[in-house]
Amino acid sequence: MKLKLLITSLIIAISLSTFAQQKDTLYFNIDGRDTTAAHAAFYRVRTRQGAGWQVTDYSLNHKPQMTGAFSDDSCKIRQGEWIGYYHNGQIAGDVVYENDKQVSGKFFNDDGSKNKKVKEFIRESEYPGGAAQWLRYLNKTLKYPDNAFKNEIEGTVVVQFIVDEDGNPVSIKVIKPVNAELDAEAVRVISESKDWVPAVYGGRVVKSYKRQPIVFKLPKS
């Protein structure tokens, strides 16, 4: 009986040790979506920590970009201290999360001086005023090209672009065309948008990729 209990305890101990040491590598594309190593923009090494994970994100040249812990298995809820880094190794941000809410933080420039412009550890780029103002801008600025209107050409043009570190839309291109005139108008509208709030990743301002569908639909008679 004692031998049986000893074997059972040993199996449980091995199982717990294996679970605790679980470690893997994930790869992400420029949009932050899962991908393969060949198409990755950065990668994440994660180690099982209780019910969650301790993670470190690396650039493709293997320099750490950000490290911290998630309290859940799906890596959605940040918990505890998170640290972000510049490419030179300098700390960009040192913050504390409680249940995915940032409760404190210090931010720095790449020379080590305090950065008073950044307040958030993670932030997606957005148009000034948010989604509502972006939609208002599109509706106000978009013009139906005359020839497309006369020929009753409709469709949805999808445009991809980058919001750079200064908040400018750059590298604008059509990834789902409809018609030359509609495509050109969609690009014009994106290019004339200004003063975006740039993205922040790990406490440092970064460029971010956006996709925007532009709908051209004729009014019903």
DSSP calls for 70-125: ESSTTS-SEEEEEEEE-TTS-EEEEEEEETTEEEEEEEB-TTSSB-SS---SEE--
Residue 126 DSSP one-character state: B
Please, are residues 164 and 171 in contact by the beta-carbon 8 Å criterion?
A: no
Per domain, the residue ranges of the chain are 2-120, 131-216
pTM above 0.75, yes or no: yes
Residues 165-184: what's their mean pLDDT? 97
Task: For residues 63 and 117, give the distance between their C-alpha atoms in angstroms, rounded to a whole number.
Answer: 25
Structure tokens at 38: 């060949």
**Among the CATH numbers 3.90.930, 3.30.70, 3.90.25, 3.40.50, which is that of 2-120?**
3.90.930
**Among the CATH numbers 3.40.50.2300, 2.40.10.220, 3.30.2420.10, 3.40.50.300, which is that of 131-216?**
3.30.2420.10
What is residue 125's predicted lDDT score, i.e. its pLDDT? 96
Please name the amino acid found at residue 37.
Answer: A
* pLDDT digit string, tens, across residues 64-80: 999 999 999 999 999 99
Please determine, for residue 10, whether its predicted confidence score (pLDDT) is greater than 60: no
Please determine, for residue 139, whether its predicted confidence score (pLDDT) is greater than 60: yes
Please determine, for residue 9, whether its predicted confidence score (pLDDT) is greater than 60: no
